[in-house]
Amino acid sequence: MARSQRSPLLLAGLLATAGVAHFAVPKPFDATIPKALPGPPRSWTYGSGAVELALAAGIALPLTRRAAARAAAAFFVGVFPANVQMAVDWRRRPEPLRSAALVRLPLQIPLVLWARGVAHHAVRDEEGR
């Protein structure tokens, strides 16, 4: 299987794993929800988990891959405030946790670029048919 064919499935797997984790162990995700958002954090945790599962399904299917990958790129940008909130909240935690929270911030960039690349390859695949 070519790299461009594996990449969407790996991205879908990452999103599916994260989505399941939001439901299986929601408490750590609750702590990252910005306090400015209305409603209980658990609702946002479950909502974002459901979105990740839907994006994973969309990316896994060639017919919906382009749109889902574009939506995933937007989603990764949209959850960035939660990562910032986590870094702020964890600034007094033990060093390994504090570092993990800070490392998450620049990791959003490759995720956005990965999703955009999947969308771009999906367009090329469609044009090649």
pLDDT in tens, 74-91: 999 998 888 888 888 888
Q: What is the DSSP letter of 93?
A: S
Q: Structural domain of residue 14, as residue ranges?
A: 3-127
As for how many domains the chain has, the answer is 1
State the Cα angle at 46 between 43 and 47, rounded to 5°: 80
The pLDDT of residue 85: 84
The pLDDT of residue 1: 47
High-pLDDT (> 70) share of the chain, %: 91
Residue 74 is encoded by which pair of tokens?
């937007």
pLDDT band at 51 (very low <50, low <70, confident <90, very high): very high
The residue type of 77 is: V
pTM to 2 decimals? 0.85
